Amino acid sequence: MADVRRFRLGFDIGGTFTDFVLVDEQTGTVHLNKVLTTPRDPARAVIEGLSALLDRVKVRGEDLGIAIHATTLITNALIERKGAKTALVTTEGFRDVLEMGTEVRYDIYLFLERPEPLVPRRWRFEARERLDKGGEVVIPLDEQGLRKVAARMRAEGIETVGIVFLHSFRNPTHERTARAILARELNGAPISISSEVAPEIREYERMSTTAANAYVQPITRSYIEDLERRLVEVGYRRRTFFMLSSGGITTGETAQAFPIRLVESGPAAGALAVAYFCRFMGLGSVVSFDMGGTTAKIGLVKDYQPTKAHMMEVGRVKRFKKGSGLPIKVPVIELIEIGAGGGSIAYVDSLGLLKVGPQSAGAEPGPACYGRGGTEPTVTDANVVLGYLDPGYFLGGAMRLDAAAARRAIETHLAGRLGLSVIDAARGIFEVVNQNMLSAMKVYIAERGEDPRKFYLVAFGGAGPAHAYELARALRMKGVVVPPNAGATSAMGLVTTASSFDFARSFVTRLDRVAWSELNEVFGAMVAEGRARLAEAGADPDGAGVRVARSMDLRHKGQGYEITVEIPDDVYRRGSTEELTRLFYERYEEKYGHAHTNLAVELITCRVSVTGPPPDVPLQEMSGAPRDPAAARKGARPVYFVEAGGFVDTAVFDRYRLAPGAEFGGPAVIEERECTIIAGPQSRIRLDAHGNLFLDLPR
């Protein structure tokens, strides 16, 4: 029987599949499982998939040392508008900020479509109170008026409340008092206050984030409580931890209080896993490509770290248009996400054109080939018809695909209407979804001033390795890398990441007029909070491996936006605002080519990241398998390749039987249980010592 506290568990609920990774901390052995998500009751798939994995590996629930979870629950609730009845309380005169937004418009046309606010106007209430920009009280909070507001909320059946007062990031007293009053009046309903959810400048973004946090708080609380109760039933009685959008992990209590910080937890875990694998491959900078059943996520890893941002958008009306979604002001690993996955539905639009996504068949009913009631053609159905997927080896043979149903769906909904053969219609689905992803990838890479030809594309997710070759070839990249266990890479990121927490406090002042003692107080409070969170997550807050990183959002006085400048530890210890000013000018000139050194520098926001030591999860080196790739050959089948203009009789290899040092030319199909890798005719395939599969492309 396994030793107690020897295993690390990561599980990630996606739109179509729920993935599990179980790592033996002593040997580094990795065990996987993948099951269909159960959207109506997500915890059911977790318990069923976990129970099956534990039974197969002969491990008890009580043998798990830690369980870390990522979920799409919050994202789906925001996009599908399935949150709770939410009220918003604002400073008198400001309840329409949520609807007005900012003066920035994502398009120039008159009939501009904007996302609907999460809180309708009739549930947005005003409180008489006012603080000035320094946090000093101008008008005291009208507590009796707030009680009358609470009575109206009770009459409306309000389930959760967000509170956003002007300048509360400088003085949270009014928000805290209002929360205490409403909690009593509303019988303990969950209440989010902006000074805790997003204590930063810019009223609209802070209000949108707080409203979103309140909107999903009741369903998140119910889900986490249910999940933890059911995990106890399979023997796991320790705390469950949750992946943050910023790439750290947190406790269930914090996740319930601030669920909006989990909005991109699954994609963040995938980017972290890529950084983990890159350290073993010696590739400091790559493009990550995660394509699952519902969406595709593209990100950039530089110097072994995913790039980060301080804000994101959800529920965009126009998928590539920045400003067309709901702004969420939380730390997040920077990714672009589009509705392109294995379950993305193909259809003919009103102009008679073939379109793919963003609507997805999901897990229920799923693609037509799943045989679960789906009838519309999807990307997975096309991949079956084109020979990319073996119907008898999907999920290692645990789930058989219905190739005839895939052909019928394409024939009925597409081929007949377009006057095409089933094969040509399937090829059209494949090429259109690839073009959707290429468009996003080009924009994302170009906006960061990078050249795709410098990078490998690290592909993972259930569908990513089947599409990556064509994307990398179109962008003339170095090639594709598919890490071990690529079908469950996001779950791998959960068990290999360190506990980490990010904090921000807006503190608007001129840098040459602020006392260092004031800055030290702001930073010190955030560091103390970070160390407390590390202790909650089971890490030693004062251990040698704890890292504290500080930065500031700075701008020339009079500018509308700022850049983030990291503060080196030695500069912070010296407490020199003059050095910080010089750092800003240098960073600004590096970014824009010129800095206005005659202008004063204005501080907007102080930021802190507190990170514990990473877990010691070794990536095993492979050994013992034969070096001749022929020994791993399973057979051959016709596979469609765009560059060949048709089907090519293609060798099929078992990835688990390929050995380090194996090298051979494409075309080839390499199969593993959770995904299939398609290597086109121009690729040169090789396997490194850790099992990373390279598809090198000609330069």
Alpha-carbon distance of 23 to 494, in angstroms, equals 11
CATH hierarchy code of domain 500-611: 3.30.1490
pLDDT tens per residue, range 334-382: 988 888 889 999 999 988 999 998 888 888 899 999 999 999 999 999 9
Q: 3-state class of 249 per DSSP? A: strand
Q: What is the pLDDT of residue 499?
A: 81
Alpha-carbon distance of 448 to 469, in angstroms, equals 23
Domains of the chain by residue range: 7-78+225-261, 81-221, 344-431, 500-611
Sorted by sequence, the CB contacts under 8 Å of residue 116 that are 6+ apart come out as: 81
Q: What is the pLDDT of residue 496?
A: 87
pLDDT tens per residue, range 197-221: 999 888 999 999 999 999 999 999 9
Model-level pTM?
0.87
Helix 42-57, helix 203-233: angle, nearest 10: 50
Q: What is the pLDDT of residue 319?
A: 62
Token reading at 119:
């809180």
Helix (H) and strand (E) counts for the chain?
A: 18, 35
Q: What is the pLDDT of residue 1?
A: 40
Q: Please tell me the CATH superfamily of domain 7-78+225-261, with its number.
A: ATPase, nucleotide binding domain (3.30.420.40)
Burial class (CB in 10 A: 0-12, 13-18, 19+), 93: exposed
Q: What is the pLDDT of residue 625?
A: 55
Alpha-carbon distance of 518 to 510, in angstroms, equals 13
Token reading at 22:
């179980």
Q: What is the pLDDT of residue 626?
A: 56
Helix 422-447, helix 403-410: angle, nearest 10: 80
Q: 3-state class of 386 per DSSP? A: coil
Q: What is the pLDDT of residue 350?
A: 87
Average pLDDT per consecutive 10 residues, the chain (699 residues; last block may be shorter)? 67 88 84 88 91 91 89 83 94 93 76 86 96 93 96 96 95 96 94 94 94 96 92 89 89 91 90 92 94 89 89 76 84 87 92 89 90 94 97 90 96 94 96 94 89 95 95 96 90 86 89 92 93 81 88 92 92 92 93 90 93 81 72 94 94 92 93 94 93 93
Alpha-carbon distance values, 138 to 92, 297, 434, 505 (Å) = 13, 47, 57, 22
Q: What is the four-CA torsion angle of 654, 655, 659, 665, rounded to 10 degrees?
A: 80
Q: What is the pLDDT of residue 228?
A: 92
Whether the Cβ atoms of residue 263 and residue 330 lie closer than 8 Å to each other: yes
Q: What is the pLDDT of residue 376?
A: 96
Domain 81-221 has CATH 3.40.50: yes
